[in-house]
Structure 1
């Protein structure tokens, strides 16, 4: 076969495969948004679900999802940055670093249900916290930390070695070079990675079933005492996130308008995850242009 013909056939196959994936994803997304978009309103986004009569919404579930995001990323980002910097700048190629990278790859491939059972044993039972936001946040940290470490390591390795050499030649020590030269150079990739990692929090349900719980107490949004069980800021209260809520209303069927709530919740969840991914690409591009002056 002529090499030119083989190249054209391979190109057509690649385009066809990409087109099939785009059609499948677009069809699924369009179907969910079409059926769920009709249910989205201000009341739906702010009111709690109604068990007795129809007309409830997903207000507490949205707040729980964002609050869990903040708690989880407060652990994930600092730890991911520190480990990523160590692997990229300090760790050499030896048996110890091979064990660390193997452990990271193993954690990254663990099913979320396994992480949930681990969180149930350690964060829920051994600590005595019970089903709580803090237990769910730590479980999500176990899930997202390997990805954040890999993103940090790859972003730092992508910084040209000439920048490090120039900084050291000007008299800066190694730590000053990392803080003032390497990290700013890797900042666009770090921002994009952090946002993408944050988006994974919203779609997680299996691990949260065993750690954060499947119900939320009645919340008083005027109560800012984090030690009060009715305060929305209390990290030791159980919390039902948006993804868990979708699973719950479809399996239990206790609310009269479950189809409306489930479709609307799924549409909101897709829009939030899509927004996080678009924001990651947009911010990464803007930051790169400003820092590279291109």
Structure 2
């Protein structure tokens, strides 16, 4: 068999696999949204049994967790990619980071419950849940940032330094803008994972929700949409339509994840063009 024919067969197989994956994703979205969209209305969000508070808690916890993890994760990735020497210590740090990225989330949840809930006395709180989520996100952010920066061609660095730029100017004005799409992809992955996380938040943020729709008290318990979905399906309250609430919550969670990804992706492209000096 000729190499050209092998290439065509391999290309066809890869296209078929991509179409199958895309079809599964479309079917999943249509199935979930088709079952849940009929229940989404103002009453579903703001009623006495609505999920408006859970929706707010989901994004509040996500915001706090990214506030804790982004500076440390991106900073550590920049250090490992651009400044750290190649020795056994940095190899150990990378190995530890990769190992932490593969730890099940429930282990982080137990760790957060022991440290934040019990030892530090935070109790079931939004702050404890956010801090534990930050620990979950840190290894992924470090690895994604480092890999994205290492993917930038060395010629970019050499050209910038040859023109008299300092190392920090090179990183800030050349390397980071070029690596921005990869970093944003990593942030999107950890954000989506945080929005759908349940095990960690059950152990740290609790399964109660404030009666106030926009309660910003970080020491209050904070049930999220994902935790609420788990609670409704695992222990439905008598006299409530658990299936309707679960379907509506699942559809709302999917919509929020999609909207968040779009909101994060579009400004990042504009920022990348601006940082690289592309005005068109």
What TM-score results when the alignment is normalised by the length of structure 2?
0.90
**Distance apart, 1:275 and its partner CA:** 2.3
The residue number in structure 1 matching 2:124 is: 131
**Distance apart, 1:48 and its partner CA:** 4.4
Q: Pick from 225, 235, 238: which aligns with 1:252?
A: 235
The residue number in structure 2 matching 1:268 is: 252
The residue number in structure 2 matching 1:85 is: 78
**Distance apart, 1:188 and its partner CA:** 4.1
Task: Name whichever structure is richer in helix by fraction.
Answer: 2
1:200–1:273 Cα contact (<8 Å) kept: no
The residue number in structure 2 matching 1:224 is: none
**Distance apart, 1:171 and its partner CA:** 4.0
1:48–1:59 Cα contact (<8 Å) kept: no
Task: Say yes or no: does 1:159 pair with 2:143.
Answer: no
1:131–1:238 Cα contact (<8 Å) kept: yes
The residue number in structure 2 matching 1:106 is: 99
2:177–2:272 Cα contact (<8 Å) kept: no
Task: Say yes or no: does 1:150 pair with 2:143.
Answer: yes
Q: Matched residue of 2:39: which SS? A: coil
In structure 2, the gaps of 5 or more residues are: none
2:184–2:265 Cα contact (<8 Å) kept: no
Q: CA RMSD in A?
A: 2.1
**Distance apart, 1:251 and its partner CA:** 0.9
In structure 1, the gaps of 5 or more residues are: 50-56, 222-231
| 1:193-208 matches, cutoff 5 A | 193-208=186-201
- Counterpart CA distance in 2 for 1:30 and 1:177 is 46
- Counterpart CA distance in 2 for 1:220 and 1:4 is 62
2:66–2:134 Cα contact (<8 Å) kept: yes
**1:165-214 CA deviation, whole Å, 9 max, x = no partner?**
34434444333433344334433443443233222211111111111111
**Distance apart, 1:44 and its partner CA:** 1.4
Q: Matched residue of 1:38: which SS? A: helix
**Distance apart, 1:248 and its partner CA:** 0.2
